[in-house]
């Protein structure tokens, strides 16, 4: 499984010829190194509806003629924008062609802008993505919560993307505990250093992970690692 980081919380996961992008915030992302037209995928996955995660979802889905997978209300919104979408919900899992998706809890919020207001877009979620016998967990935007222990107990998580920016999500201290509870061997720090409010030291966080026996991957946008 190859995992490529495109800045903020956007991650491309590849395995066995299948390519899935999660939270494709590229246009308007000050640290992005690619444009939406550079993304070639079989599906778009969303953790929630906020613009810094929903991003270029619709344009990418249309350009690739591929489905969007999201929590039910957000999937219905995507359908209203003219794309194919599969609505799921927290705790549910579904197998697709070459990969499996399961949604977990995330403690945050979710909405999409319509005109001059925001509308409810369902619950936010984390995503367990299994491809080729390996599982990648994208926690989405979330606080630390106790059931991360249960997620780690019930699933063999080979790598996890965890937000460390603080302010809107958990910060490095809570993310370190989350990594231990999830029992993962690899952590990709995300949702940091995009804007001043969420500036953090990814290298320092990864050193703290190393001291706990966990491999940190503080990637620059466009860099990858494999598991």
Using the 8-state DSSP alphabet, how is residue 220 labeled? P
| 12 part of a folded domain | yes
* Residue 198, domain member (yes or no): yes
Return the CATH number at 107.
3.60.15.10
Q: Is residue 227 part of a domain?
A: no
Strands (E), 49-172: 68-71, 85-88, 93-96, 99-105, 111-114, 117-120, 125-131, 134-138, 159-163
- pLDDT tens profile 165-223: 999 999 999 999 999 999 999 999 999 999 999 999 999 999 999 999 999 999 999 99
Q: Count how many domains the chain has.
A: 1
Rg (CA), the chain: 16
Q: Is residue 165 part of a domain?
A: yes
Read off the pLDDT of residues 71-93 as tens digits, 9 standing for 90 and up.
999 999 999 999 999 999 999 99
**In terms of residue numbers, what domain contains 121?**
2-222
The rounded mean pLDDT for the chain is: 99
**Domain assignment present for 95:** yes
Burial (0-12, 13-18, 19+ Cβ within 10 Å), 183: middle
- Residue 99 belongs to a domain: yes
Whether residue 157 lies inside any domain: the answer is yes
Distance CA 37, CA 121 (A): 26
**CA end-to-end span of the chain:** 5
């Amino acid at each position: 499984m190859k995992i490529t980081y495109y800045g903020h919380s956007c991650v491309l996961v590849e395995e066995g010829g299948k390519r899935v992008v999660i939270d494709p915030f590229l246009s308007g992302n000050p640290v992005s190194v690619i444009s939406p037209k550079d993304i070639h995928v079989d599906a778009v996955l969303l953790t929630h509806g906020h613009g810094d995660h929903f991003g270029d979802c619709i344009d990418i889905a249309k350009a690739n003629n591929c489905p969007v997978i999201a929590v039910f209300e957000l999937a219905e919104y995507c359908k209203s924008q003219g794309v194919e979408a599969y609505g799921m919900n927290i705790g549910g899992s579904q197998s697709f062609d070459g990969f499996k998706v399961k949604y977990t809890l995330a403690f945050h919020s979710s909405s999409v802008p319509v005109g001059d207001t925001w509308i409810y877009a369902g619950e936010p979620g984390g995503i367990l993505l299994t491809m080729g016998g390996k599982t990648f967990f994208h926690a989405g935007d979330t606080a630390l919560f106790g059931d991360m222990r249960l997620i780690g107990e019930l699933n063999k998580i080979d790598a996890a993307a965890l937000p460390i920016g603080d302010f809107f999500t958990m910060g490095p201290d809570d993310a370190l505990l989350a990594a231990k509870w999830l029992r993962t061997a690899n952590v990709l720090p995300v949702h940091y250093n995009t804007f001043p409010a969420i500036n953090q030291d990814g290298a320092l966080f990864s050193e703290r992970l190393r001291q706990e026996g966990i491999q940190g991957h503080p990637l620059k946008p466009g860099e990858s690692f494999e598991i």
